[in-house]
Amino acid sequence: MYLTQPLHRAAQQTPDTPFTVYGESSTTARETYDVVSRIAGSLRDLGVTKDDRVGLLSLNTDRFCQIVLGGAWADAVIVPVNTRWSVKEIAYSLEEADVAVLFVDDPFTGLIDELRAQAPKLRAVVHCGDGEQPDAALPWADLLAADPVDDAHRQGDALAGIFYTGGTTGVPKGVMLGHRQICTAAMGMMMVQSQVPHGGAAILVAPAFHMAGFGAWVAGMLANMTTVPLPAFDPVLVMRSIAEQGAKQVLLVPTMIQMIVDHPEAGKHDLSSLELLIYGASPISEAVLGRARDVFTSARFLQAYGMTELSPATSFLIDEDHDDPVLRRSAGRAAPYARVRIVDPLDEEVPRGTVGEIVAAGDHVMLGYWKKPEETAEAVRDGWMHTGDGGYMDERGYVYVVDRIKDMIISGGENVYSVEVENAVAKHASVAQVAVIGVPDEQWGERVHAVVGLIPGATLTLGELREFCKQEIAGYKCPRSLEIVANFPMSAAGKILKRELRETAGGGT
């Protein structure tokens, strides 16, 4: 399997069916085939050869999809850039990956001169937007004027992309994923379900530079779906797009789900076409999950657990398991292509029910970190990817993620897992969003500190919250301080940045 394979099939079997719909523009499989082959021809004209890296700084658009496929068609490696990074971080990834050609979307054309100065290895920059043509970049029309070339059919363990992860702490790492790894994970996501949507439309709203969004896009292509990219998340736009396109599939991170189900227009759009709602990237509270199932009444829910290094998923919680109040707190069971274990610091498997580190092995494990052999050797040992997540496994193989190992709070000698506390706090009627962290405390070593966003018009005191949480969890796990915020620092993948919360935590009340 390889990334361009679904396009070949669509062009052969359903050539006049839309392959992408972006805004008012609909592009058929036949038209996409032609565009992709010309992008590849243009890359060849620009001197791109086998294994060269092609960068892509773009929002979710139809051209994002076309450029990724065009890069693979040209036997090159795609490097999607985190659109929320600073110029310095972007330039670092471009330089480290030796990117030869960079595609730049409209919102980022103002960065071209700085990027050229800080990433001198760039041979060419291409403008892939519809806005004013920058002088420092080649126009999109020039690419489409190139002669088409044949697909290189790059496949197997040949590198498909370098997906940079991190950047919020330390130096970003380029995760190397081959065509086999990405397609294995995408196909496995479909295999694990008892009912799989086919055809129709798939909404692509999670950032496609991130493997969660990228993987969902590939899965949609494999299921003969028309991709409907949305350049940015907006609750109303997502609901309207599902209704207008009759969409069958969407991937949302929990923060997106919460913003949709709590929006005043949640009941005003016809969402009945949606057959599959995939979620992941961060834990979801039971309270939000319950509200989501009330809004997306026709959708089957699928939780995917993993990380970029796992292409990106290694376990799934299928829809049927969501009906069990115990199982829906889990991250599901190992995917058909994966092996999952819980190990101690010596990499020995621990007994069922014992907390340790979650590790995974299989064809979805990354090829390594780009130019970082020591970090690769530390992360992947004897074929097992060490996730850095703490968790346990029950007797039936369900994995329960209790915390990032580095996020575990040790208060008064007791281990407190922030996810468990967050689930309890989230059930309070006044709470819209919550993150729990450990902050230094002279008496307890660390104390449990809750950072909370309230629903409009609500109030909450520490005393009220503690009394409420004592009904759900042990007293030593209950928050000992409370901080109420209007907004949370978020990563591009929709994760709350706890590192920033720790840096700014003022002790609360």
pLDDT in tens, 459-474: 999 999 999 999 888 8
The structure tokens listed for 359 are 């590790």
Residue 114 near residue 69 (C-beta atoms within 8 A): no
Helix H or strand E encompassing 211: helix 211-222
Q: Nearest-CA neighbor of 433 among 365, 356, 490, 377? A: 490
Residue 227 near residue 20 (C-beta atoms within 8 A): yes
Domain 410-504 has CATH 1.10.340.30: no
Are 5-155 and 410-504 the same fold in CATH? no
CA distance 455 to 459: 8
Name the average pLDDT for the chain. Answer: 93
Mean pLDDT of 314-325: 95
pLDDT one-digit tens code per residue, 362-394: 999 999 999 999 999 999 999 999 999 999 999
* Per-domain boundaries in the chain: 5-155, 180-359+384-404, 410-504
CA distance 246 to 274: 7
Q: Residue 508: pLDDT above 80?
A: no
Q: How confident is the model at residue 495 (pLDDT cuts 50, 70, 90)?
A: confident
pTM: 0.85
Q: Under CATH, which architecture does the 5-155 domain have?
A: 3-Layer(aba) Sandwich (3.40)
Task: Give the per-residue pLDDT at 254.
Answer: 85
Q: Under CATH, which architecture does the 180-359+384-404 domain have?
A: 3-Layer(aba) Sandwich (3.40)
445 or 136: which leads in pLDDT: 136
Q: Residue 412: pLDDT above 90?
A: no
Task: Give the per-residue pLDDT at 170.
Answer: 54
CA distance 228 to 70: 18
Task: Give the per-residue pLDDT at 365.
Answer: 98
pLDDT one-digit tens code per residue, 241-299: 999 999 999 999 888 998 999 999 998 999 999 999 999 866 677 888 889 999 999 99
Least confident of 315-319, 321-325, 355-359, 500-504: 500-504
Task: Give the per-residue pLDDT at 8.
Answer: 98
CA distance 308 to 444: 35
Residue 405 near residue 419 (C-beta atoms within 8 A): no
Task: Give the per-residue pLDDT at 330.
Answer: 93
Residue 182, number of CB atoms within 10 A of its CB: 24
Task: Give the per-residue pLDDT at 499.
Answer: 82
pLDDT one-digit tens code per residue, 107-126: 999 999 999 999 999 999 99
91 or 254: which leads in pLDDT: 91
Mean pLDDT of 69-93: 94
CA dist list (Å): 226 to 62, 196, 199, 215, 509: 11, 15, 7, 15, 50
Q: Residue 104: pLDDT above 90?
A: yes
Task: Give the per-residue pLDDT at 503.
Answer: 84
pLDDT one-digit tens code per residue, 135-192: 999 999 999 999 999 999 999 999 999 999 864 345 789 999 999 999 999 999 999 9
Buried-state track 489-503, b at ≥16 Cβ within 10 A, e below 16: bebbbbbbebeebee
